[in-house]
Amino acid sequence: MRIKQTIEHIPGGLMLVPLFLGALCHTFTPDAGKYFGSFTNGLITGTVPILSVWFFCMGAGIDIKSTGVVLRKSGTIVGTKIVVAWCIGMICTYFMPAGMIQTGFFAGLSTLAIVTSMDMTNGGLYASIMQQYGTKEEAGAFVLTSIESGPLVTMIILGSTGAAYFEPRLFIGAVMPFIIGFILGNLDTELRSFFGNASMTMIPFFGFALGNTINLAVIAQTGLLGILLGLGVIIVTGIPLILADKFIGGGHGGAGLAASSTAGAAVTNPTIIAQMVPAFAPIAPAATALVATSVVVTSIVVPVLTAAWCNHFKPAEEKQIIDKSMRHLV
């Protein structure tokens, strides 16, 4: 059976399939963890410890050495994404009610859901798109997107916009496993390979544990709103990313458009932040469902839009290359 290949054909499948299975478990057998106890309960309820190991391995897999072009491209994408998410967070803080919208079509929408869906790029999706439609340097520009992984950037945005208050020790605690892994991975290439390869292995485990915090009824209620949120992420972050890629990154905008997605790891942030700030606890399930839907939507739509964009500019680029070659021959 080719289970892994089948899962990988689903956008964000390595995260979303286990998450859906966990949500099924929680919806129909919410007390399964308590009933079986021991290691089964640990697997079902172990979101935070599993994520802490994943953050460590993610940090260990990042090589501090890379070319200037890659750093410029990557820095442009990460910086633009964070700035846009911060601006949107500031607007939401002023115009949206505290917590989340309680009634009507937008019920469940919150600053937490919007910021979380916008501040993290799906690095794997970006790299795969650019490998096919971009340059080698553009494909390698996903290296710094790992900085966005985890709750730290979301915490900074929510804290600086006034949507939440985090004690300094919580910021340190959120980033420490990542930093320790990063240091060890760059001190020893064998450790980088050893821990870095484990980061992908952890994804299904925290996906399943996270799913066990979600009731499928919430996903059903927020499905259409989640689709609109995903499309909104592409539009709101995609336009500034295209402009930044053209005027700062030196590209034609394709790399920016390829980065206008919601990362699969963003699904975990509402739950983690709710554990740090209990006031977010009632909001976290709806926010998680919305972000999960946004992950699926952006994973499907972004590759299609990017392919069309890059194919539009490709003939012009090829003509420029031919013209330069002819001038060189003359």
Using one digit for the tens of pLDDT, what is the confidence trace for 131-177?
Answer: 677 776 666 666 666 666 667 788 888 888 877 777 777 767 777 88
Cα 217 from Cα 197, distance rounded (Å): 35
Q: What was the pLDDT predicted at 322? A: 36
* Burial degree of 131 (CB within 10 A; 0-12, 13-18, 19+): middle
Cα 214 from Cα 288, distance rounded (Å): 8
Q: What was the pLDDT predicted at 143? A: 60
User: Which residue in the block uniquely carries the two structure tokens 């995260």?
Assistant: 15
Q: What was the pLDDT predicted at 328? A: 46
CA-based nearest residue to 129, from 295, 302, 277, 270: 302
Q: Report the length, in residues, of the chain.
A: 330
**Stated pTM of the model:** 0.71
Handedness of CA 303, 307, 308, 309 (dihedral sign): positive
One-letter identity of residue 43: L
Tokens at residue 12, please? 């964000």
* pLDDT tens, position by position, 282-308: 888 888 889 988 887 887 788 888 888
Q: Is residue 320's pLDDT more than 70?
A: no
- The DSSP symbol for 261 reads S
Taking residues 26-43, what's their average pLDDT?
Answer: 88
Taking residues 58-83, what's their average pLDDT?
Answer: 76
Q: What was the pLDDT predicted at 97? A: 74
Q: What was the pLDDT predicted at 63? A: 76
CA-based nearest residue to 156, from 90, 207, 101: 90
Q: What was the pLDDT predicted at 85? A: 92
Domains recognised in the chain with CATH numbers? 12-323 (1.20.1530)
